[in-house]
Structure 1
Amino acid sequence: MKILFASANPAFIAYLKPVLCSSGWDVIVASDGCDALDTFCTERVDLILTEIDMPVMSGPEVTGKIRVIEMMQELPWTPIVVLTAPDSLENPVNIIQAGADDLVSQTAPEGVLKAKILAMVRTATVRRQLETANGTLNNILNSVSDGIHVLDMHGVIIAENAASTTMFGWEDSDSLVGRHGHQTIHHHHADNSIFPVEECPIHATLSDGKYRHVQDDVFWRRDNTCFPVEYKCAPLRDNAGNMYGVTVVFRDISERKKAEQHIIYLTQHCPLTDLPNRVLFGDRLKQAILNAKRSRTKFALLFVDIDGFKPVNDRYGHAVGDMLLQRIGKRMTQCLRELDTIARIGGDEFVAILPDVNEADDAVSIAERLRQSIEEPFAVGNAILVVSASIGVAVYPDDGLDEQTLQVNADHAMYQAKGRGGNAVVLNEIDLTGKCAQIF
């Protein structure tokens, strides 16, 4: 234990220093206020004893400057005891306001003086142990990659770790402490609709003290953008079991959501053409029927089979065949409207859903445009490839009220086009192009 003893009185130093040293304490003597301040800045001491009246700088002045230094440099608190002369006229209140922890008369009995100093040393030791423990805890919390968001019983933020502050986009945790948690980071849903505090899982834990695990929600940054989170709410309780707040441990799941969305995308799209596959086509067809039934409108279903694709594949190989399918998919997409769906459901088989067609003629017109686009030659590598399309058309509700009936009719019409030589559009088994198949 190291004590800084500031005194300009040789007789008092000669009396008190042996008393302090006899208790096993290391004593550093400063002869004036300036010397005491310099010693404090260069030596780590556990307790400061200073006379009230000293040359250059008084004890209260030294005390005030030490407190400023501790605050500016974020140093641990050091207990200061001011030793007052018997005839001192200083107001004790002013000395305490300057930052002193206690006052002791220089004429106090040796036992009283030692007891006061021992009490201060114990207080300093406990306080520094707490500061060390808090520092260790803060270091642990700030090293965790998950955000830690702590609220009191009124829903007011009382702590944030570094990860949380960064994710919320604030400069430091002090900028968040004191704000209402729900209004600051949880005020709206992902769709920008208001999130009432009464429905908030975090505030539910504040109300009933129950642990909660929320796997998919959003928190809001300072710039008013949101990010997806998974979080766990746990009540904070003291040693008596009384609840005094809630801890929310959360993580940004943006990358996980992207990965999930990518997996969903892959399960719904053809990896070769990037068009919807049979699974997504089925969902779109169901939705088209529901929409048409609700709005009492028509839509068309087209089955498209590529004529002459197998000879291309056999002659030029699968790599060229795959590139041709990609070009066909892009060309058909360019022919369709934004609200239409074109999907690849098999080797050289495609389907299209055309919502909001007024009459069958509208669907036939679009199908004819598709047929004409496909019969234009394709430049693939060094080869000029010529294929065509047989297209069958079925219209809801004329050719079926359910998915299976519509698909059967469209498929049957496509085979009718195939059977008449290909490169044709057929609606209800009626050849609308009058053209014979021409395979290159």
Structure 2
Amino acid sequence: MSREGLIGVSAEAFLDPENARITRAHFKQALRGKAVSYHNLVQTSAGVEKDLSVVLVPLRVDGKVVSILGIAKNITEKKRIEQELHRSRQTLQLVLDNIPQLVFWKDSTGVYQGGNRRLLEFIEVGNIQQLAGKSDRDMPWSEHTQTLLRDSELLIQTREPLLKHRELAIQADGRQLWLEVSMLPLTALEGEIENILCVFDDITERKETEVELFKRANYDSLTGLANRAYFYHTLENVLIEQLRNPRIMALMYFDIDKFKGINDTYGHDVGDKVIQEFARRISDVLRSSDLLARLGGDEFILLLCGVPNSDSVKIVAEKIIAVMKEPFVVGELRLNVSTSIGVALFQHGLNADQWIKVSDQALYTAKRAGRNGYRFASV
């Protein structure tokens, strides 16, 4: 409209009924001498809607309001951008809320700024407002706070993402959980790192599967002891270490005396119970550093590393024989079980197979001597 065309036209000509009501209410306030500000929607003569930020200022003469100065700013484009940004944020939040990882972002000082629904559920927080202002010290992974801070500092220095670079073990829900950590820099328009995006993936199931597969590959399913493959692998490593750091070491090769008779008389179920109890009793008299393995059937082998002298090896052998004196109770059966042990101290130049063979030969010497005893190998 032209300036001349506008003069004398009521402002309400450009307003729908609701916005006209809002305008009248604010205009009355201005007439009473109060400056007011508000938003309003107007329509141009072409019917295009515009969003205005309006300020009304009362003008006084001799203390009396004689007219109103109105200042309006067209904020239509700003509002459109804000709405698009809001919709974009809503869409992004919807996407984040529907992925299984724990996702959150924090500023460079480590203060949390936001996160997805999976994170809120994991840390048992009701809404995003309760998350704001927290830090890693408030999280189930609080014991790793210093480590995560160092990771953040490294990311800020290098400006490079840290993808799946760390695994954290935490306690939550009464069990041990594993989280795999990724961190990415979020930069502002000026190029400065404004926030750090963190993605924690719950890999507990994968870890538990790895542990289970390792146990199946390396441990005996009946007794829970190391199996033949794991024992041989460990022994090879011990012999390599022995070259750098010589120690007194001993192997004990033993089995259950007349075990075939137990199996033939009472069956394999009873035989398995006897093997389990046999392994348990031996384990109870050993150090945590000793390695006991079941080679198969009723054959066992024990590696003693770093013993003070051969007399201490004899003490271990005597303890093993002594713990077998009490009858083995299997159901209503009371079985007398004994063991024969072949002992071989390590001698320089022996490889793993040779050392085991020497201890096995000592076992048969013990059996020929009447069983329920031990014999040292002579090398």
TM-score, normalization: structure 1?
0.63
**Distance across 2 between alignment mates of 1:365 and 1:51:** 104
Q: Which aligned pairs between 1:309-324 and structure 2 lie closer than 5 A? A: 309-324=259-274
Query: Match for 1:138: what amino acid?
Result: Q
SS in 2 for 1:53: helix
Among residues 28, 48, 60, which one is paired with 1:87 in the alignment? Answer: 60
C-alpha change, 1:257 and 1:83, in structure 2 (3 Å) is same
Among residues 2, 12, 32, which one is paired with 1:17 in the alignment? Answer: 12
**Distance across 2 between alignment mates of 1:164 and 1:151:** 13
The equivalent residue for 1:126 is 81
Root-mean-square deviation over aligned CA pairs: 4.3
Paired residues of 1:320 and 1:380 also in contact (CA < 8 A): yes
The equivalent residue for 2:132 is 174
Shift of 1:227: 7.2
Among residues 331, 338, 342, which one is paired with 2:281 in the alignment? Answer: 331
Q: Which aligned pairs between 1:411-430 and structure 2 lie closer than 5 A? A: 411-428=360-377
C-alpha change, 1:132 and 1:342, in structure 2 (3 Å) is same
**Distance across 2 between alignment mates of 1:169 and 1:310:** 58
Shift of 1:299: 1.9
Query: Which of the pair is proportionally richer in strand?
Result: 2
Q: Which aligned pairs between 1:192-271 and structure 2 lie closer than 5 A? A: 197=150, 200=151, 205-218=155-168, 228-236=178-186, 244=193, 247-271=197-221
Q: Deviations over 1:209-228 (max 9, x none)?
A: 5454234334999xxxx975
Shift of 1:158: 7.2
**Distance across 2 between alignment mates of 1:249 and 1:279:** 38
SS in 2 for 1:374: coil
Q: Deviations over 1:139-192 (max 9, x none)?
A: 43344332334466x676574314456767988442148x9xxxx996545xxx
TM-score, normalization: structure 2?
0.72
Query: Match for 2:13: what amino acid?
Result: P
Paired residues of 1:215 and 1:229 also in contact (CA < 8 A): no
Shift of 1:386: 2.5
Q: Deviations over 1:215-268 (max 9, x none)?
A: 4334999xxxx975323444546789x574553333243443343233323322
C-alpha change, 1:214 and 1:146, in structure 2 (3 Å) is same
Shift of 1:316: 1.6
**Distance across 1 between alignment mates of 2:8 and 2:134:** 50
C-alpha change, 1:29 and 1:425, in structure 2 (3 Å) is same
**Distance across 1 between alignment mates of 2:69 and 2:329:** 108
Name structure 1 gaps, 5 residues minimum: 1-11, 34-48, 64-77, 91-104, 190-194, 431-440
Paired residues of 2:248 and 2:308 also in contact (CA < 8 A): yes
Paired residues of 2:112 and 2:132 also in contact (CA < 8 A): no
Paired residues of 2:30 and 2:68 also in contact (CA < 8 A): no
Identity %: 25
1:278 and 2:236 aligned: no
C-alpha change, 1:358 and 1:125, in structure 2 (3 Å) is closer
Q: Which aligned pairs between 1:250-399 and structure 2 lie closer than 5 A? A: 250-286=200-236, 288-289=238-239, 296-397=246-347
C-alpha change, 1:368 and 1:89, in structure 2 (3 Å) is farther
Q: Deviations over 1:288-322 (max 9, x none)?
A: 44565555431221001112111211222211111
Shift of 1:414: 0.8
C-alpha change, 1:89 and 1:291, in structure 2 (3 Å) is farther
1:27 and 2:19 aligned: yes
C-alpha change, 1:309 and 1:50, in structure 2 (3 Å) is farther
| Alignment: residue pair count | 345
Shift of 1:59: 5.5
**Distance across 1 between alignment mates of 2:8 and 2:337:** 109
